[in-house]
Structure 1
Amino acid sequence: MNRLNGKIALITGGASGIGLASAQRLIEEGAFVFIVGRRQDVLDSATSTLGHNAQGLQADVTKSENLDRVFETVQKEKGHLDILVANAGVGEFARLGQITPEHYDDIFDINVKGTLFTVQKALPLMQNGGSIILTGSTVGSMGTPAMSVYSASKAAVRNLARSWAHDLRGTGIRVNVMSPGPTQTDKVMALLPAEAVGEMKRAIPLERLGDPRETAAVVAFLASDDSRFMTGSEVFVDGGYAQV
């Protein structure tokens, strides 16, 4: 399929996991993709994997001057942006009673502040028909032990999309949320012990973790005109985890 021929996309957190899989899928569908990440070595490796229709941009989404540099580069090299995937995010465990200001700041700075200002600074480059995709999570809709701060950050991301759908009236730009459930990425596998992964699989009606290529397929759908009558929506890619 070539639903995205000639489109220009940018994905934050695009050098690994769900972001990298999404970049690969958008390229397969015809897009040129800028991937943004904090670590230059990881960016270089990802860009090499993706090929000539990708470019890596090193940036920290919590720093305004970094984001300015990213979008200045996009403006200079491509002139506009059709697809924005605000995917950069972090999660850590901390039970109530163990939460520190640093834990809160780290998660909300990247997941909420980073998402907000990534989108806001990208808007001048976007035009009618543009698609903004925010990465949410099933935990934004569920109670999850030891993940209250992360869960609250993803609930905030969900509401940003609802509110921005109103703010973007008349622009022709859509904003939607792709919310994955437990997905087999290096980050998840490093964070969770084997027994926790087993428990998650048993809790998922489809009895397995998701594959990043499955979330990428939904990102491609939300980026394309196949979803042109969708805005303010949340699409779960979770094997039923948060649905039943």
Structure 2
Amino acid sequence: MARLQGKVAIITGAAQGMGAAHAKRFVEEGAKVVLTDLNEEKGNALAAELGESALFIKHNVTSAADWEKVVSQAEEAFGQVDILVNNAGITMAKSILQMTEEEYRRIVDINQVSVFLGMKSVIPSMQKAGGGSIVNISSMNGLVAGAIGYTDTKFAVRGMTKAAAMECANYGIRVNSVHPGVIATPMVMQEDTKAAVEAFAKHIPLKRVAESKEVSNMVLFLASDEASYSTGSEFVVDGGMTAQ
């Protein structure tokens, strides 16, 4: 039987990159998936590709009202929510001296506040379903230093995951974080950055960057009942970078 048969999932930032890979993998494994993103064109195209098991909703992850709408429409279309993947996120290549307060707060809102809002909004639906799994996408920079703003918020996602896991255990809801390293998404592998990424890959113990599907396989495991005794934990997909 498919590993997510009968499950209903919400995946944010799902129009492209890792989010799209997660959505495709989930549908392959029998889930009904609500894809959310601000990119309507790519989101609708992916939902059409995935067929009747997918629904796209335009979604500002920093808006509590938008989160209420997403959960309500998910329940109306497919039923109570079993899985939430908080995947949406941004980064910015600026130093602490260059970054404005407005830019910093935008990163915090998208990377950190959205995770809080997502968990808060979906937990009641999962309670009605009798349990669930929340997978928060952090980063290897939620374990070791990276860019200002990005690192801070990815550490926060790690902490929120642990706090929520303790609170949600009584509801039968598991909460875990995934920490990807360098992933070969279109954004990372575009022409102006590809050479630098390939040079950096030589310093990764496994000597290569990851494919999105390799992260999706970890997310799938945590979303499924196979991870029934895992909660409040970090799952690292970084080719050994943080082990050095």
Q: TM-score, normalised by structure 2?
A: 0.95
Equivalence for 2:207 = 207
Equivalence for 2:57 = 57
1:134 counterpart (124, 129, 136): 136
User: Are residues 72 and 191 of structure 1, via their aligned partners in 2, closer, same or farther at CA, if it must alter by over 3 Å?
Assistant: farther
- Return the offset for 1:203: 1.7
Tell me the amino acid that sits aligned with residue 62 of structure 2.
Answer: T
Residue aligned with 2:208, SS: coil
Conservation of the 8 A alpha-carbon contact between 2:185 and 2:212: yes
Equivalence for 1:102 = 102
Equivalence for 1:232 = 232
Q: Is the counterpart of residue 119 in structure 1 residue 119 in structure 2?
A: yes
Q: For residues 174 and 50 of structure 1, what CA distance do their matches in structure 2 show?
A: 27
| Cα shift readout 1:129-186 (whole Å, capped 9, x = no counterpart) | 3100000100111122xx1210110000000011111111311100001111000001
Q: For residues 122 and 49 of structure 1, what CA distance do their matches in structure 2 show?
A: 26
- Return the offset for 1:188: 1.9
Q: Which deviates the most, 216-225 or 161-170?
A: 161-170
- Return the offset for 1:204: 0.8
Q: For residues 130 and 188 of structure 1, what CA distance do their matches in structure 2 show?
A: 32
| Cα shift readout 1:58-78 (whole Å, capped 9, x = no counterpart) | 110111221111111112223
Q: For residues 20 and 113 of structure 2, what CA distance do their matches in structure 1 show?
A: 22
Tell me the amino acid that sits aligned with residue 181 of structure 2.
Answer: G
Q: Which deviates the most, 59-68 or 206-215?
A: 59-68
Residue aligned with 2:243, SS: coil
Residue aligned with 2:231, SS: coil
Q: Which deviates the most, 26-35 or 72-81?
A: 72-81
Equivalence for 1:88 = 88
Q: For residues 53 and 153 of structure 1, what CA distance do their matches in structure 2 show?
A: 32
Tell me the amino acid that sits aligned with residue 150 of structure 1.
Answer: Y
- Return the offset for 1:191: 9.3
| Cα shift readout 1:38-88 (whole Å, capped 9, x = no counterpart) | 121111111122222111011101112211111111122233001110111
Q: Which deviates the most, 182-191 or 97-106?
A: 182-191
Alignment length (residue pairs):
242
Tell me the amino acid that sits aligned with residue 125 of structure 1.
Answer: S
Q: For residues 156 and 187 of structure 2, what CA distance do their matches in structure 1 show?
A: 22
Q: Which deviates the most, 101-110 or 42-51?
A: 42-51
Conservation of the 8 A alpha-carbon contact between 2:32 and 2:78: no
Residue aligned with 2:91, SS: coil
Q: For residues 142 and 197 of structure 2, what CA distance do their matches in structure 1 show?
A: 19
Residue aligned with 1:200, SS: helix
User: Are residues 37 and 176 of structure 1, via their aligned partners in 2, closer, same or farther at CA, if it must alter by over 3 Å?
Assistant: same
Q: For residues 221 and 202 of structure 1, what CA distance do their matches in structure 2 show?
A: 28
Q: Which deviates the most, 196-205 or 220-229?
A: 196-205
Q: TM-score, normalised by structure 1?
A: 0.95
- Return the offset for 1:192: 6.4
Q: For residues 44 and 98 of structure 1, what CA distance do their matches in structure 2 show?
A: 36
Q: For residues 170 and 216 of structure 1, what CA distance do their matches in structure 2 show?
A: 27
Conservation of the 8 A alpha-carbon contact between 1:182 and 1:200: no
Gaps of 5+ in 2: none
- Return the offset for 1:236: 0.7
Superposition map of 1:1-244 within 5 A: 2-127=2-127, 128-144=130-146, 147-190=147-190, 193-244=193-244
Q: For residues 7 and 112 of structure 1, what CA distance do their matches in structure 2 show?
A: 26
- Return the offset for 1:108: 0.5
